Amino acid sequence: VMFPYPSGDLHIGHWYNFGPADVHARYMRMKGRNVLFPIGFDAFGLPAENAAMKRSNLHPSDWTQNNIKTMTVQLEHMGAMYDWDRVVDTSNPSYYKWTQWMFIQLYKKGLAYKTMAPANWCPQCQTVLANEQAENGVCWRCGSEVTRKDINQWFFKITAYAEELLDGLRELDWPEKTKLMQKNWIGKSVGARINFTWKQEILPVFTTRPDTIFGVTFMAIAPEHPLVPSMTTKDQKKVVEEYVQVSRKETETERLSTDREKTGVFTGSYAKNPINGKEIPIYVADYVLQSYGYGVVMGVPAHDQRDYDFAKKYDLPIVEVVSGGDSKKEAWEGEGKLVNSGEFTGFTSVDGRKKIIAFIEKKKIGNAEINYRIRDWLVSRQRYWGAPIPMIHCKTCGWVPVPESDLPVLLPRISDFQPTGTEKGPLVKSKEFVETSCPTCGGKAERETDTMDTFVDSSWYFLRYPNSNLSEAAFDEKEMKYWLPVDMYVGGAEHTVLHLLYSRFFTKALRDMGYLSFDEPFRALRHQGIILGPDRQKMSKSRGNVINPDELVENFGTDTVRTYLCFMSQYDQGGPWDPQGISGSYRFLGRVYMYFENRKYSSGLEEKDVERLLHKTIKKVGDDMASFKFNTAVASLMEFLNLIVKRNITKETARTYFLLLAPFAPHLAEELWKNAGGQFSVHTKMWPEYDEKKLQEGEKELVIQVNGKLRDTLQVKVGLTKEQAQKIASLSERVKAHIQGKKIRKVIYIPDTLINLVTED
RNA sequence: GCCGAGGUGGCGGAACUGGCAGACGCGUAGGUCUCAAAAACCUAUGGGACUAACAUCCCGUGAGGGUUCGAUCCCCUCCUUCGGCACCA
């Protein structure tokens, strides 16, 4: 399971994640697998600081450790088969030592770098955020509006793996939806770079539609583009500078909203189209993003709606070069025949694309190119409660990694950990921390004061579980080979473009460094849904609709809570919490207990129908477990009880039933198992096998339809021929009434299931 | 705007991916037990028509069309809810 953040309280969402996952893990163990079911704590992060700031005498570390203690007790109440010897705590120096080690490995590989870049800045949390964490221009933690700020920041080069991250998705047993979201996030675009020119300067653009190059009527350049000042002519200087100023002040949300009008201003300069030598005006326009492609767009109004809108507003020519649309009304973005395109006229746009790329490559004015939307991962944070970035800055040597023998770089326990509000983190206030010597030249040097994004900690924690107590290395090769990659990963869908993407990047990078022999961290992935409050709203303290699992355990017992969580809904769907619903599971387990307590079992062979349903139940529960359909698995266990409740069964049948029950209600099952003379423990016994032969029935219910409408059902022997079945069907009084005086035109027969008599008209 | 997943009784949800719609559970109603209640147990429970009753018939899976002997399932149009992305050239 995805390890929890130690917020202090295990809520029902944790239970929903961990409970059914434990059911699955127990099932896999009974199927004979050696199951490692670990747990840990994602212990660094902002809430600890925020909580500590509210109470003056509290340190983030103490807050976190207290919470871990509380949550450990709560987790134990779940009756999960956790291996408590392997608990991982990312805020423990014995763990973050290796997080720092990883940083250094990435740095050495050229996959970590520091650069000045406009970053997402959260004014509330007073730190920068990764793109993935600035959701719709809003901080993922506190919901504040994110602003842009130029800061010198550390990045991981996740873009180096864009293609592989995309490609690897195909192999994964993950929900299609999740894979698709990652795919969209990576955002591959196939196209070309084309070098336009301005004076002596090359002005490259990226386009997915090189076939429309003859339709370019203007250029649009991002306001932040470095060439903007020099491009701007004297008469345009004032308007351009004003425009750039305004767009700089805008928040991300304003800037990115798609439904507002496109704006821009003319720079006064003209670019040259390399394919036909035409001079076209260059505009500064804020719909062009500096961070994608080259920050310059070739404007083709006839075949791009955005360019069309822009051209309409500023009265720029619209030249149609692909047939199929009506350029008087809107841009035609589909395919068609090339027109007005010089020697390429007449080709289809698809062929034209290839021809034009070949042409520009030959003329050396461009080349085929692929672009991705994903950006490098910004990992530095100007906060206290995180793993210090293990880098030292020396005036003469530049950035130097801390020697591995000096790891970990301990996070000093300081009381003044409030954010500084500047681009330096709170660690800057600790002289002892900052001042150090350069590992290379020995001169005076300063430590990096930023800490790492907590998502760095969680990007590799699963690699630590097989050897979480190892002190001399991050992981042990033999243990890793045995346990990893993760066979089944269960957690929320909200981490799709965060943790689940970062972990894949880490895995691939470590593989390339020779530490791992696999490419993907999580072979299979399942999401649990979200449990809503009884009012169908998202649970929140302020709404007062929060369900407290501790109370439920107190009132109904762990087994009931586990069983109900499995039963209440389709696992990946979640849904509103029904306060009365849980009594159904409570009654069910109560009935199970009442039935089996002091039972005198029948001797001899089991009755046929009981035996048949037992085998059906073994099959059903097993199949459902494998596919995470816990709700119908529980339902079939209930069904079986409903059949036997007024009858007697053999001890063998009972013991088989306990095995099926064991993953859901581990405590009750153990008790019943013991009372029925079973050896400790029911949980280490093998999952029962069903017998295909015993599933088969000698008689079946045959559905009889007339013209597709159900008219009767009859018990018949299996294996009837069509003719026999028709004969039997025709004897039914109900059927007779509907076929009387009519000719049978056609008979549809599905053996042992259904017969449909089709009459004339 | 684009992409994706849904819409089934009073409620949560089932239904071999074309073959008995509503499994299982909650709730509700009636009953048993009880001085009474709670708990527990039993019975019924999609809507409607006609029945004294059994039976029988009709309608019914967001709406409308289509394909098919037969559609919750496939196709078209539309409505709607929820997730994701959001000027990516």
SS (H, E, C) A74-138: HHHHCCCCCCHHHCEECCCHHHHHHHHHHHHHHHHCCCEEEEEEEEEEECCCCEEECHHHEECCE
The lowest-confidence range among A505-509, A647-651, A745-749 is A745-749
| Nucleotide nearest A176 (Cα, C1') | B4
Q: How far is the CA of A704 from the C1' of B48 (A)?
A: 24
pTM for the model stands at 0.94
Average pLDDT over residues A444-467: 96
- Where is average pLDDT lowest: A454-458, A590-594, A670-674, A750-754? A750-754
pLDDT score of A406 = 96
CB-CB neighbours of A645 under 10 Å: 11
C1’ B42 / CA A591, Å: 14
- What is d(CA A272, CA A279) in angstroms, rounded to the nearest whole number? 5
pLDDT at A252 over 80: no
Would strands A112-122 and A127-129 be described as parallel, antiparallel, or unpaired?
antiparallel
What is d(CA A179, CA A161) in angstroms, rounded to the nearest whole number? 16
pLDDT digits 0-9 by tens, A727-736:
888 888 888 8
Smallest CA–C1' distance to B24, residue: A635
User: Which nucleotide's C1' sits nearest to the alpha carbon of A372?
Assistant: B88
Q: Is the pLDDT of residue A39 over 70?
A: yes
In this model, does residue A582 exceed pLDDT 80? yes
Instruction: Give me the pLDDT at residue A246, please.
Output: 87
Question: What does the pLDDT read at residue A714?
Answer: 85
pLDDT at A698: 79
Please tell me the predicted confidence (pLDDT) of residue A423. 83
CA atoms of A141 and A239, how far apart (whole Å): 38
**Shortest CA to C1' contact from A745: nucleotide:** B69
Secondary structure of A638-675 in HEC code, one letter for each residue:
HHHHHHHCCCCCEHHHHHHHHHHHCCCCHHHHHHHHHH
Task: Give nearest nucleotide to A294 (CA–C1').
Answer: B89
Give dist(CA A454, CA A470) in Å, integer. 22
Helix (H, G, I), strand (E, B) or coil at A197: strand
Mean pLDDT, residues A475-498 taken together: 93
| Average pLDDT along chain A | 93
pLDDT of residue A683: 97
pLDDT for residue A751 is more than 90: no
By mean pLDDT, which of A149-153, A195-199, A525-529, A615-619 is the weakest? A149-153
Question: What's the gap between Cα A168 and its chain centre?
Answer: 15
In this predicted structure, the answer to whether residue A254 has a pLDDT above a threshold of 80 is no
What pLDDT band is residue A251 in, cutting at 50, 70 and 90?
A: low
* Res A552: pLDDT: 95
Measured in angstroms, what separates residue A530's CA from nucleotide B81's C1'? 16
Supply φ then ψ for residue A560, to 5 degrees. -65, -45
Using C1' positions and the CA of A261, the closest nucleotide is B87
- Lowest mean pLDDT across A6-20, A350-364, A454-468, A695-709: A695-709
Q: Is residue A717 scored above 80 in pLDDT? A: yes
The distance (Å) linking the CA of A569 with the C1' of B9 is 17
Q: Which pLDDT band holds residue A257 (cuts at 50, 70, 90)?
A: low
The closest alpha carbon to A378, from A113, A48, A104, belongs to A113
In this prediction, residue A253 has a pLDDT band, given cuts at 50, 70 and 90, of low
DSSP, res A365: S
Determine the nucleotide nearest to A575 by Cα–C1' distance: B12
* Predicted confidence (pLDDT) at residue A119 exceeds the cutoff of 90: no
Counting residues of chain A whose pLDDT is more than 90, the rounded percentage is: 76
Tokens 């700089």: give the residue: A248
The per-residue pLDDT for range A494-504, each reduced to its tens digit, is 888 899 999 99
Mean pLDDT in residue range A550-562: 95
Q: What is the pLDDT of residue A256?
A: 61
Residue A591 CA distance to nucleotide B31 C1' (Å): 20
For the CA of A669 and the C1' of B20, the distance in angstroms is 36
Q: Find the Å distance, CA of residue A657 to C1' of nucleotide B33.
A: 31
Indicate if the pLDDT at residue A22 is higher than 70: yes
Whether the pLDDT of residue A258 is over 70: the answer is no
Local structure of residue A145 (DSSP, 8 states): B
Mean pLDDT of A401-422: 92
Q: How far is the CA of A373 from the C1' of B83 (A)?
A: 21
Report chain B positions within 7 A of protein CB atoms.
1, 3-5, 11-16, 19-21, 23-27, 40-42, 56-58, 69-71, 83-89
Closest residue to B41 (CA, C1′): A591
Closest CA to A574 of A632, A529, A539, A538: A529
| pLDDT over threshold 80, residue A204 | yes
Query: Among residues A90, A7, A10, which one has the least CA distance to residue A51?
Result: A7
- Residue A219 DSSP class: E
What percent of chain A is predicted at pLDDT more than 70? 98
Distance from residue A214 (CA) to nucleotide B3 (C1'), in Å? 31
Strands A88-89, A40-41: pairing kind: parallel
ipTM: 0.95
Which amino acid, A651?
K
Statement: residue A653 has pLDDT above 80 = yes
Spacing of A537 CA from B80 C1' in Å:
19
The separation, in Å, between residue A198 CA and nucleotide B61 C1' comes to 64
- With a cut of 70, say whether residue A28 has pLDDT above it: yes
Nucleotide nearest to A734 (CA to C1'): B56
ω into A751 cis (within 30 of 0):
no
pLDDT tens figures, A558-579: 999 999 999 999 999 999 999 9
Residue nearest to nucleotide B71 (CA to C1'): A708
* CA-to-C1' span, A576 to B12 (A): 8
Q: Largest Cα–Cα distance in chain A?
A: 108
Nucleotide nearest A582, CA–C1', reads: B26
Q: pLDDT band at residue A122, thresholds of 50, 70 and 90?
A: confident
How crowded is residue A312: how many other Cβ atoms within 10 Å of its Cβ?
A: 14
Give the burial class of A715: count Cβ atoms within 10 A of its Cβ; 0-12 exposed, 13-18 middle, 19 or more buried. Answer: exposed
Structure token pair of residue A314: 């500023």
> Which nucleotide is the nearest neighbour of A180, by CA and C1'?
B4
Give A53-70 pLDDT, tens digit per residue. 888 789 999 999 999 999
Query: What is the mean predicted confidence (pLDDT) over A585-598?
Result: 94
